[in-house]
Amino acid sequence: MDQTVAVFPKNKFQEVHVGIREFKGNDLIDIRIWTAAQGVDQMVPTAKGVSINVHLLPKLLQALAETEKVLKENKLLDS
């Protein structure tokens, strides 16, 4: 499977792409920075990102929930 699930802006020149990819027989969740390339009107992927096995999704979600909790406790994110 090769499917982009979500795209959101990182800054004026870059985007974060979240997708599901297959690599060497492994299904992966890929979170990658895409950037505007010189002379091209489309975004291209960079080496900056992370790919993890889809079986680790529950651990990733748990880590993000804990991160959200800490951010809210420290008033870095609205409740």
Residues 58-69: pLDDT tens digits?
Answer: 999 999 999 999
Q: Which CATH superfamily is domain 3-73 in?
A: Transcriptional Coactivator Pc4; Chain A (2.30.31.10)
Total residues found in the chain within this entry: 79
The reported pTM is: 0.87
**What SS3 state is found at 75?**
coil
Q: What is the dihedral of CA 9, 31, 42, 22, to 10 degrees?
A: -150
State residue 53's pLDDT score. Answer: 97
Sign of the Cα torsion 53, 57, 67, 7 reads positive
Residue 26 belongs to what H/E stretch? strand 26-36
pLDDT exceeds 80 at position 79: no
Domain range list for the chain: 3-73
pLDDT (tens digit per residue) in 21-77: 999 999 999 999 999 888 878 899 999 999 999 999 999 999 999 999 999 999 999
Sign of the Cα torsion 49, 17, 35, 67 reads negative
